[in-house]
Amino acid sequence: MKAIYFSSLLFCTAFRAAANDVAAIKYDTQDFVLDGVFTQGVEGPAVDKNGVLYAVNYQKQGTIGRVRAQNQVDPLLTLVNGSIGNGIRFDSAGNMFIADYVNHNILTVSADALKLGKDVSGLVRVFAQDSRMNQPNDIAITDKGILFASDPNWANSTGNLWRIAQDGQVTLLEANMGTTNGIEVSPDNKTLYVNESVQRKVWRYDLDEKGNISNKQLLISFADFGLDGMRSDKQGNLYIARYGAGQVAVVSPTGALIKTITLKGQYPTNVAFGGKDGRTLYVTMQKRGAIEMTRVNGVGRLF
């Protein structure tokens, strides 16, 4: 998240999903982590195989916090050289990947390091780096470990889309998009979804086994407010953070708005699935520096 994004969305005054008259559903939303525990840069929620939730910017910028249980947070690491994390994802082996938007990096922490259960600041490694990136923001990952990164330029309301191979090789897939932000892979690994925050559009691409994309199509667009991070459930439905609307939109693989989840705060930045059965949705909340949680019907894709 960058300040320019927040200011560009202040004009929004009401929420209405594009061409869909779907009433917001009030879920039993509660705080998983209270206000001010994270900074206003809280983002990148991701859950490991043990059910532990991680998010960036715990207590101060440039850190990652480990949430072991409700309101039980401890520091995992502090990044060096001014790096600040945004999106976090895990591969099938349990290795962590972090989008570092300051230094154009994708960072990694090995599964073995994470098992140490202590501060692992000295064990962070650069997995991929490309100075052509504006600022890698959110990341998605296939079952085989191919990464994709959104890369917004907030000042110009544009963005790029990148692929990062298993060996760290970086490839530009598409340039001069809208303000690319949320990104996700479908459960069958045959579709890549990318949204554009300022333009309020979600795009879908056909995805092959090598991470090549084709057949770009508009999945859904929204009339107002911004789009941020998103995740898929095992049925292929997308859960999209609606920044400024205080909601998470649930969208089917065919682009239908199934429902909207009303949150306590107004500024969700990203979502992740967890809990014992994969049906708990965690939502990072900018402004509040908190993490909300709610129970949902879908089971997270990577749970």
Active-site positions read: 228
Answer yes or no: are the C-beta atoms of 53 and 291 closer than 8 Å.
Answer: yes
> Do you know the residue count of the chain?
303
Q: Does 228 count as an annotated binding residue?
A: yes
CA-based nearest residue to 9, from 287, 245, 288: 245
Answer yes or no: are the C-beta atoms of 37 and 73 closer than 8 Å.
Answer: yes
Answer yes or no: are the C-beta atoms of 81 and 103 closer than 8 Å.
Answer: yes
Answer yes or no: are the C-beta atoms of 107 and 124 closer than 8 Å.
Answer: yes
| Single-letter code of the amino acid located at 66 | R
Sign of the Cα torsion 231, 300, 105, 37 reads positive
Q: Rounded to 5 degrees, what angle do the CA atoms 239, 32, 9 make?
A: 50
| Rounded Cα gap, residues 150 and 41, in angstroms | 17
Answer yes or no: are the C-beta atoms of 250 and 263 closer than 8 Å.
Answer: no
| Rounded Cα gap, residues 267 and 256, in angstroms | 23
Going by DSSP bridges, is the β-strand pair 247-251/238-243 parallel, antiparallel, or unpaired?
antiparallel
| Rounded Cα gap, residues 289 and 303, in angstroms | 25
Q: How many CB atoms lie within 10 A of CB 100?
A: 26
| Rounded Cα gap, residues 48 and 46, in angstroms | 7
Q: Indicate the annotated binding residues for substrate.
A: 137
Q: Indicate the annotated binding residues for a divalent metal cation.
A: 181, 228
Q: Indicate the annotated binding residues.
A: 137, 181, 228
